[in-house]
Amino acid sequence: MAIRNAVSVDGTNIAYQVSGPADGRALVLLHGWSADLRCWGAAADELAERFRVIAVDLRGHGYSDAPETGYDDPKNWAADIAAVLTSEGVESGAVLLGWSYGGIVLSDYLTAYGTGAVAGVVYSGSMANIGRAPGAETGSAMREAIPGVFEERAGQAVRAFGAFGNANTGPGPDTGVDAQRLFGASLATPPRVRKALFYRTVDNTATLRALDIPVLVLHGTSDPVVPIENGRYILDAVPGARSSFWEGAQHGLFIEDRTRFVAEVSEFIDGL
């Protein structure tokens, strides 16, 4: 599966990877802050057995370009997703799935471009807003990690990322390999990018209230990174939205219980 590129409105190259049947419904995976397209692990592979999975590296992450500026402009984030959809010839029927910060990015896209190319949306452990906007609370693990995760000194950054603990992998059986993959992506994200993503305020509430497509909210009740209140905010704002709140689960649902995650996402897509 080769890495492909789309050029966004400001000239930024956005990298992405496509897997699964060419005639399958497009499922666009948008990772979280300081992660990359590899974060999905086996969940992406299983979803690709039925769907055309398009896993994107957000700007500043993974194989995508990391421009010096522009991270505070929601139109850039929106254009990044639009560029990928255009590059892949997706004009309708796509499903956007955002994990953590990815939920903000897909909301930016919906605000700027609407739902013409989109059939459904999944928010997983994510929020639609950021900064001083409502529905953008910061979890205890994130508060503990900041500002250390912005450090350029490797030792300081590693210790700060340690504040996340098992948040991304869950308290169940040991998933150390998955955890190390996520830690590696976090450290590979430039510190200036890690910091820049937090210095913006965006309120996509009006977009949520006007959505005319099905929305599924997946969220762990014990998420220490993105509090469940943010998921509930999306649920309350979107007309007819559905939810699956996982009792005692944390932040990375696709790792914590991959089988359940794949099943619930697949069921939602099949119902569109």
- With a CB cutoff of 8 Å and minimum separation 6, the contacts of 71 are 59, 60, 193, 196, 197, 199, 200
Q: How confident is the model over 240-271, as pLDDT tens digits?
A: 999 999 999 999 999 999 999 999 999 999 99
Q: What is the pLDDT of residue 119?
A: 98
- Cα first-last separation, the chain: 27
Segment 63-79 mean pLDDT: 97
% of the chain surpassing 90 pLDDT: 90
What is the arithmetic mean of pLDDT over 18-23?
97
Residue 52 vs residues 23, 32, 132, 161, 268: alpha-carbon distances, Å: 7, 20, 36, 32, 15
**What integer pLDDT is reported at residue 173 of this predicted model?**
66
Order of strands across the sheet that contains 52-56:
3-7, 13-19, 52-56, 26-30, 94-99, 118-124, 215-220, 242-246
| Mean pLDDT (whole number) for 143-153 | 95
- Given a cut of 80, whether residue 171 has pLDDT beyond it is no
Is residue 98 within 8 A of residue 106, CB to CB? The reply is: yes
Contact call for residues 117 and 85 (beta carbons, < 8 A): yes
Distance, in Å, from the CA atom of 88 to the CA atom of 216, rounded to the nearest integer, reads 24
User: From CA 7, how far away is CA 207, in angstroms rounded?
Assistant: 25
CA distance 246 to 243: 10
State the chain's mean pLDDT as an integer.
95
Count of CB atoms within 10 A of residue 21's CB?
Answer: 12
Residue boundaries of the structural domains of the chain: 3-270
Q: For residue 2, what pLDDT is reported?
A: 83
Question: Average of pLDDT values for 94-103?
Answer: 98
The better pLDDT of the pair 151, 179 is held by 151
Q: Is the pLDDT of residue 126 over 80?
A: yes
Q: What is the pLDDT of residue 40?
A: 96
Q: Which CATH class is domain 3-270?
A: alpha beta
**In the chain, pLDDT over 70 holds for what percent of residues?**
99
Mean pLDDT of 147-160: 93
pLDDT score of 220: 97
Q: How confident is the model at residue 174 (pLDDT cuts 50, 70, 90)?
A: low
